[in-house]
Structure 1
Amino acid sequence: MGIFDFLKSRDNSKPSKKHLSFSKSALEIIGTFVEGYGFQLHNNKVETYFTTIIWTKNQQYIKLTASDFPTDYPYTYDIKLGEGNCDDFFESEWDSISISAIQRLTEPNKKYNGYDFPKKSEFKGSLEKAKKELLEFGNNFLNGNLELFYKARILTNGENKPKKIIKKDKNGNVLFEVLPYNVKKKKD
């Protein structure tokens, strides 16, 4: 077995034991917690190197993502808060922010970089810490008050949604459509 064998083409959709265990712990700790605020499990995708769990409530969503893909070192996981279509990758990239964005807004002198993907024996402790920080920095979001979320999203992603490529015309020019804008603008 060579050092770069992970780059060889193979099926990475088969769940690994580590990610299955992480997903189970996340559903128990984070899932039970956010379900208390009315969020429901929307998606739980577990693969060889990745876990994505999404809980939704109306147009709001909470997305937990984890990766230990060999080229993604250092391995991490994060919790994102979002509003809109959680199933569309491009929209959810703009519509969501890490809870660290709210933390930077409320506590600018503290450093926060997400979470290291822990060893199996440390899953519960790490997820309990993440749950505590989700409550601390995402409490307004959990309760349906999105004002702080909007401010942090504007600071992180800008005021306007990016344009979306629709098609090329007969001359090869790319045509754009401006996506709906659903963010309250900052008040000066």
Structure 2
Amino acid sequence: MGIFDFLKNTDNSKPSRKHILFSNTALEIIGTFVEKNGFQLHSKKIETYFTNIIWRKEEQYIKITASDFPTDYPYNYDIILGKGNCDDFFESEWDSISISDIQRMSEPNKNHNGYDFPKKSELKKSLEKAKSDLSEFGNGFLNGNPELFYKARILTNGENKPEKIIKKDENGKVIVELLPYNVIKKSN
């Protein structure tokens, strides 16, 4: 086996034991917590190097993403807060932020950049810390008060984000949608 064998055209969709353990523990620790706040499991995707779990409550969603793909070093996971369509990549990319973005806004003198992908022995401790951070910094979002979420999203996404998204609806008709954070920003 060579050092770059992971780059060969192989099927990476088969879940690894590491990501199965990570996702099951995340569902137990984070999932139980967010479900107590009215969110429901929307989707779960576990692959060889990636985990993606989404919970929804009306237009809000919470997503855990994890990667230990060899070229993604340092391996990490993060908690993403978003509003809108979590299944549409472009919309979710524009309308979501990491819990780290709220942490950096709330505590500018500290370094917040997500979480290191934990070793098996540190998995529960790491996810408990992430749950604690979500409870502290995402409390308003969890309880239907997105004010801090919007402020962090404007600071994070800044002026570089488009004011509108052009996309097709389910019938193929082109629609133009004004993004909510631009509406809020313009009204201030």
- The TM-score with structure 2 as length reference comes to 0.90
What is the percentage of aligned positions where both structures have the same residue?
Answer: 74
C-alpha displacement at 1:181, in angstroms?
Answer: 2.0
Unaligned runs of 5+ in 1: 168-175
CA separation in 2, counterparts of 1:116 and 1:26? Answer: 14
CA contact (8 A) 2:165 2:178 kept: no
CA contact (8 A) 1:60 1:83 kept: yes
Aligned 1:5-154 pairs, distance under 5 A: 5-154=5-154
CA separation in 2, counterparts of 1:166 and 1:128? Answer: 38
The one-letter code matched in structure 1 to 2:119 is K
SS at match of 1:14: coil
CA separation in 1, counterparts of 2:81 and 2:167? Answer: 27
CA separation in 2, counterparts of 1:140 and 1:50? Answer: 29
CA separation in 2, counterparts of 1:162 and 1:4? Answer: 41
C-alpha displacement at 1:178, in angstroms?
Answer: 4.6
CA separation in 2, counterparts of 1:187 and 1:106? Answer: 23
C-alpha displacement at 1:177, in angstroms?
Answer: 6.8
SS at match of 2:145: coil
**Are the structure 2 counterparts of residues 17 and 133 from structure 1 closer, same or farther at C-alpha, using a change threshold of 3 Å?**
same
CA separation in 2, counterparts of 1:2 and 1:163? Answer: 46
- The TM-score with structure 1 as length reference comes to 0.90
The one-letter code matched in structure 1 to 2:49 is Y
The one-letter code matched in structure 2 to 1:16 is S
**Are the structure 2 counterparts of residues 166 and 128 from structure 1 closer, same or farther at C-alpha, using a change threshold of 3 Å?**
closer
C-alpha displacement at 1:163, in angstroms?
Answer: 5.1
Which residue number in structure 1 is paired with residue 178 of structure 2? 180
CA separation in 1, counterparts of 2:69 and 2:20? Answer: 15
Which residue number in structure 1 is paired with residue 162 of structure 2? 161
> Once the two structures are superposed, what CA deviation does each residue of 1:142-169 show, in whole Å capped at 9, x if it has no partner?
00000110010011113653655669xx
Unaligned runs of 5+ in 2: 169-173
C-alpha displacement at 1:89, in angstroms?
Answer: 1.0
Give 1 or 2: higher helix fraction. 2
